[in-house]
Structure 1
């Protein structure tokens, strides 16, 4: 090990990470009177972790709230969560996140975040999700401006690799910066450094060789180093390493950092086939914000971890435009050739699907319409219209991992523990503890809810401990 240089800073609260959860924690702790230092692994232009790629925040409200319309009650929100997780959640922590989201909306506005009405083509999210004006990058920048105004210290390109645990507390934290190893001794520590999805070798240990074909939608800096270090020292874990927020994204996306724009919203109006030109799941199972996150896992289970979306011209304007234009062809056979699919097999699959479509007069693109197939497997239970109007369009699909669910187990105060009891000065927030609530599946905008709520709790508790 290289020589360890002592960092002269000795903040009350050290926040590890630089995204939404970390910033929510840092601002809250600073406003409570604590001195706060953030250590962010990324360079300044890439600060913010996955939060800079986000679009919206899922929020409970009993009546109209800001840009949100109508009401979205605690019980409805919780039932939506149960649907996507299959009940694999901690009900106490889940309801805490949900109940706290309404007040968090106001807190976010008070700290520089601006919202806008939901975008067209987002399938009725205006009631449940508040969209960030300028996207996640604007949210991150607003929080950094607020933090700077409060006197929060930020160290960039600081890669934490070890927290020294002794007798139920963290004694010191080691990080590297500029080729040197530095040691800092805070009174309290908040871990908000994300999952391990940036480490493809760790993904492969969990998933097997298929993970080598996954794309990582977010930051390459979330490599799980702090998570692994704490788990090795006996800090309690939660979640399954094979569970993650994984969506089907454009197969042309980059390996890392493609972000939200690589997502494809066309699946409900399509058929999806694998490399053998076979359909493998019901494309119309549920409205897209509730079910889109299952498609990453579905594609991961297909040969070569790839799928293909096929639509026709009448569906092209029904979903949010893609960042890369779709592949266009005048015939199904020509489209098959563009993707290297067996043309005769794709024609047979589409003919069988078309024949199974019935009356489409009730078709409604933004709600469950019951326009279903009959006599084909798998069925399509909504939005089932024949694919028969040229030109035809298609996209390749790959599994895009956003964040992993293996993380640090926390209680209602966001505090970490070992089998011997609480770690007195260690808290966690955001993706690094989201597996406490998300056992599987995902609900659009809920990651930002978890990060904001538990970041604020962790900041409050850490500041109180430090004082």
Structure 2
């Protein structure tokens, strides 16, 4: 029986642990945080999983409640591998699909079925990924399922599976150093001053998003000011430890998963509220309105695509604006379409009965610029096309230097609301190079014996953007691979 140590306890770590256990290993998981803060970034997510599927019937084995009566009147559509690959390719900045991306696409459904076989189940995302149309729930954007209770629920289900299979987890126990014998990794040293020996070590301890100095070094000067949406514990420790052994860095270090966040959110999503509510600081309904920067200008095409494909890029775009903030502007026509986080008890916004009055309440914004921008936008909206949030409806503006390509409605019905946002960082893209078994490669191309990686530690999965839900699926795919590899199967 192989002894496997895993650093970290998030989605990827737990999937690695489950895979190692089912392949006959004894697994000890070491978590830097206390029990309440365990789980890495997983608890901060919406628990949504993007994967290729053929039709609604192929989703039924994955569901917590396949007998839900709503399913009979639901159109899930399909999300073929070719579409998943195309969506990833659209964020690659001209790069071809990487080996890691091809693996993510080809193994995504099997990974979900594998999780389901361990009683990790999912629910359709009716509240966020579907709209009512002709009496049916119509899903859009290829993202259909999430864990009940979102990221917290996913963590709980995976942890239950891990411990049920005999896995052990220790909290307040960070891996601080890798123990080696020659060129092979043979164990770890911990913050509790222990040396623990193992046949294999899996680094699943996240990227460097909670390290302001590393963000500034790798992503850019503005990024030391980004709000950290997730755990404070992902400070790049695994990357640093592996690099000391000559591990090959890989992927796009200048990119990260970002998202528009409440400007007044404290770092780490306000640790004083329950983990499941921290996601409510996201503000991703910009496609129903417009965003203005400090000059009063629009700076992105808010309707260029479904928000699943734009929020990571737009979160980064906000960080590039003067003073790193923007305002999201909505009118009463879309009030009932805004997601729950816009009515979250801690959401910050201003409200007014007229658009002119609203503009006076936009702190830090050039009011003349905002007035001109909103007036020009309203004049440019094409009223001849019907608004339909279930599709790329082509309801656009005409004649503007920066168009709104879909879902462009005039902002003309009070009351009006505006929400201040900034860029929130969730995870970083640059990581390490691994082989087909999840083993980390040395700079010379050879595997580092006994050392594996998964989750945010794996580079080459994402580059200049991110289709929503892919990150958790990547954790499952590469976590499963690393666990199996570390167990020697």
**1:60-459 equivalences in 2 (<5 Å):** 60-63=52-55, 64=57, 65-66=59-60, 67=63, 69-88=76-95, 90-122=97-129, 124-125=139-140, 127-177=142-192, 181-257=193-269, 259-322=278-341, 323=344, 324=347, 326-340=349-363, 341-420=365-444, 421-433=446-458, 435-459=459-483
Q: Report the CA distance between 1:212 and its aligned residue.
A: 3.3
State how many pairs are aligned. Answer: 452
CA 1:308 to 1:126, structure 2 compared with 1: closer, same or farther past 3 Å? closer
Deviations 1:150-195 (A, max 9, x none): 2212111111122144543113311203xxx221111101111110
1:48 to 35, 39, 43: 39
* SS of corresponding position for 1:373: coil
Contact between 2:228 and 2:426, CA under 8 Å: does it hold in 1?
Answer: yes
CA distance in 2, matches of 1:173, 1:388: 61
1:27 to 5, 18, 33: 18
Contact between 2:129 and 2:143, CA under 8 Å: does it hold in 1?
Answer: no
Q: Report the CA distance between 1:360 and its aligned residue.
A: 4.3
Contact between 1:195 and 1:407, CA under 8 Å: does it hold in 2?
Answer: yes
CA 1:93 to 1:240, structure 2 compared with 1: closer, same or farther past 3 Å? closer
CA distance in 2, matches of 1:413, 1:266: 39
Deviations 1:266-290 (A, max 9, x none): 2112111111111112111111111
The two structures have a TM-score, normalised by structure 2, of: 0.88
The two structures have a TM-score, normalised by structure 1, of: 0.92
Deviations 1:305-347 (A, max 9, x none): 1111111111222231223264211223332332222322211
- What residue number does 2:275 align with? none
CA 1:128 to 1:342, structure 2 compared with 1: closer, same or farther past 3 Å? closer
User: Quick check: 92-101 or 423-432, which moved more?
Assistant: 92-101
Q: Report the CA distance between 1:90 and its aligned residue.
A: 4.4
Q: Report the CA distance between 1:89 and its aligned residue.
A: 5.9
Contact between 1:162 and 1:226, CA under 8 Å: does it hold in 2?
Answer: no
- What residue number does 2:135 align with? none
CA 1:386 to 1:331, structure 2 compared with 1: closer, same or farther past 3 Å? same
Q: Report the CA distance between 1:29 and its aligned residue.
A: 0.8
Contact between 1:170 and 1:426, CA under 8 Å: does it hold in 2?
Answer: yes
Q: Report the CA distance between 1:262 and its aligned residue.
A: 1.6
CA distance in 2, matches of 1:289, 1:360: 27
CA 1:446 to 1:89, structure 2 compared with 1: closer, same or farther past 3 Å? farther
Q: Report the CA distance between 1:223 and its aligned residue.
A: 0.7
Contact between 1:59 and 1:130, CA under 8 Å: does it hold in 2?
Answer: no
Contact between 1:111 and 1:142, CA under 8 Å: does it hold in 2?
Answer: no
CA distance in 2, matches of 1:250, 1:90: 33
Q: Report the CA distance between 1:78 and its aligned residue.
A: 0.7
Which runs of at least 4 in structure 1 moved beyond 4 Å after TM superposition? none
User: Quick check: 214-223 or 414-423, which moved more?
Assistant: 414-423
Gaps of 5+ in 2: 64-74, 131-138, 271-277
CA distance in 1, matches of 2:178, 2:97: 27
Contact between 1:318 and 1:365, CA under 8 Å: does it hold in 2?
Answer: no
* SS of corresponding position for 1:436: coil
Contact between 2:230 and 2:426, CA under 8 Å: does it hold in 1?
Answer: yes
CA 1:97 to 1:240, structure 2 compared with 1: closer, same or farther past 3 Å? closer
Gaps of 5+ in 1: 1-9
- What residue number does 1:6 align with? none
Contact between 1:115 and 1:130, CA under 8 Å: does it hold in 2?
Answer: yes
User: Quick check: 83-92 or 31-40, which moved more?
Assistant: 83-92
User: Quick check: 332-341 or 17-26, which moved more?
Assistant: 332-341
User: Quick check: 146-155 or 189-198, which moved more?
Assistant: 146-155
Deviations 1:3-29 (A, max 9, x none): xxxxxxx97111111011111111111
Deviations 1:205-254 (A, max 9, x none): 23444223211111111111121121233100112332100111121222
